[in-house]
Chain A
Amino acid sequence: MNHHLAAIGVIASMILMIVYLVDRGPYSTFAFTFVALPVLAVCIGFYYLREVLRELRDRDVL
């Protein structure tokens, strides 16, 4: 996963979150719970945290 894809994933999940906060109906709740949160977890976990771990390894911190 490259940084473009990860950033787009975070943008999409943030949009779904804002829609949920405004609407709070069943469909927006579903989208926030079952789409936005997993997408955000994947973007942060597979891209951001992996990059951080890689850098820490490169610097012999880990």
Chain B
Amino acid sequence: MPTLAEVEFSVLLRGFAAAAGVVAIVVCAWIALTSRETLRSTRVIRAGYIDLPAVSFYKLLGLFGMFLLPLVAVTLASHELFVGTKETSACMQCHVMNPYGNDMIDPKSDLLAAKHFRNRWIHEKQCYQCHVDYGFGGTLMAKMDGLRHLLKYTSRTYVEPIGLVHPFNNSNCLHCHAGTPKYDAEAMHEMMADVILSNESACTSCHGNSHPTREQRSPGHADYDRLIRPVEIAK
């Protein structure tokens, strides 16, 4: 969970972006309703304490309303797009993700994702932390994947149950677990180090599934109705 300060900062940014957007709308409406002749007229407009020729006044208005304000607004909104979409609640906006969310918040579930979520082994942004490869390349790939997910979801070109396009990278588990006393104490980890590092064998092969099975997430399965119901995850 993000701290209160982080939440407020995010809300503040969204508020600034929306306010800049509203002012830009008002200024652009003014420009749109002004004829080309008026824009280029030589009459003098009183703007506060200064008198400006109409052409200069409208140039300044255009600079703010059609360039600077929209630029500020979309920059702040894009920040929200990049940062806000890392939240687990952002993943749960699409109903195909409900089976994963419902299982994670199920106190009886013994699956890996549920245990990590329930015990706060991953403190925040749980989907992002496990599914995004580390490093710049991982972040870039995650954003590209996000755009693909958005296109598929909004165009309804996905098929249930959804699944991973790329094999899960074991290094995402190792990023937290490797080097811990518990991990090092398990002889099998050392014996299978090459296999684990090369992704020839998934961590889930020994440690069990992370999420409900493909069958459980398929329409018609006995668990499907329970898993697909709307899920509320705060962050």
Contacts and interface: CB of A to CB of B under 8 A. Distances in A.
B115 to A, nearest CB: 28
A57 interface: no
Interface in B137-172: 147, 150-151, 153-154
Interface residues of B, number: 36
A26 B66 contact: no
Q: Which of B14, B32, B80 has the most CB of A within 10 A?
A: B32
Interface in B1-50: 14, 17-18, 21-22, 24-25, 28-29, 31-32, 34, 36, 39
Contacts of B17: 17, 21
B153 A26 contact: yes
B73 A17 contact: yes
The SS class assigned to the A binding surface is helix
A18 to B, nearest CB: 5
Interface string A1-33: 011101110110111011011101111011011
B32 A14 contact: no
B93 A24 contact: yes
Among A7, A15, A26, A37: residue with most chain B CB under 10 A: A7
B113 interface: no
Interface of B: 14, 17-18, 21-22, 24-25, 28-29, 31-32, 34, 36, 39, 62, 65-67, 70-71, 73-74, 77-78, 80-81, 84-85, 90, 93-94, 147, 150-151, 153-154
